[in-house]
Amino acid sequence: MAEVKIRDLVKSYGGLQVVHGVNVDIPDGEFVVLVGPSGCGKSTLLRMLAGLEAISGGTISIGPRVVNNLAPSERDIAMVFQNYALYPHKTVAANMGFPLKMAGMPKEEIDRRVAEAAEILGLTPYLARYPRAMSGGQRQRVAMGRAIVRNPQVFLFDEPLSNLDAKLRVQMRTEIRELHQRLKTTTVYVTHDQIEAMTMADRIVVMREGRISQIGAPLELYDRPANTFVAGFIGSPA
């Protein structure tokens, strides 16, 4: 676990600025949902946190360290995407353990961590299966397992449920929250879905056109929106 501090964060692509000096403090263990319309800069911000995208200005710290110039593997984060690219020719266990194997961890320790993550995610019966024999929800759990085994300081999720059907999406919201209850890992969760934000977040960060419109607990935003954009966005779910 670690606190995440984002200070005056800027991103430009060529001459076009898409993130305009964002400031957010995320306390240790908090589950923050970053929500906003498509194209507002959510993924860009998350990818800068992950180190997958260079920052054009500002500072990101994770725990006591400024991570601006650290590679993704040095940041102690784990990211879960919408397209949870699993290796089709590896078993569930091998998929989950792969990042640890790459990092040179001994096999016994990998097996122990994979077993533990599988237990948490209800994947124990499926460890010897291949991804093609798994449902969409199970595959997304494997992708989460691959993140959990690394025991990161921070989880980053980018629209992890948007490829799932509505029923499964609702179920997975609960599962991800339960996972957070259990692990208490600082989490930044990106979605364009207001209901997902309202039901999952400790605090919501509403973004619009590369800027933060408001930060607050779900009910706070609902009861006291700071402007008409937040009122409209939170008040009229898709």
- Residues of this chain that interact with Mg ion (CB under 5 A) are 43
List the interface residues with ligand ADP, window 18-57 (CB under 6 A): 18, 36, 38-44
Min dist CB 137 to Mg ion, Å, is 21
**Is the Cβ of residue 153 or residue 191 nearer to ligand ADP in the bound state?**
191
**Is the Cβ of residue 96 or residue 207 nearer to Mg ion in the bound state?**
207
SS3 for the chain, per residue?
CCCEEEEEEEEEECCEEEEEEEEEEECCCCEEEEECCCCCCHHHHHHHHHCCCCCCEEEEEECCEECCCCCHHHCCEEEECCCCCCCCCCCHHHHHHHHHHHCCCCHHHHHHHHHHHHHHHCCHHHCCCCHHHCCHHHHHHHHHHHHHCCCCCEEEEECCCCCCCHHHHHHHHHHHHHHHHHHCCEEEEEECCHHHHHHHCCEEEEEECCEEEEEECHHHHHHCCCCHHHHHHHHCCC
Per CB under 6 A, does 13 bind ligand ADP? yes
Give how many residues touch ligand ADP by CB under 6 A: 10
Min dist CB 28 to Mg ion, Å, is 26
Min dist CB 5 to Mg ion, Å, is 22
Residue 44 interacting partner from ligand ADP, Mg ion, none (CB closer than 5 to 8 Å by kind): ligand ADP
- The contact set with ligand ADP (CB under 6 A) reads 13, 18, 36, 38-44
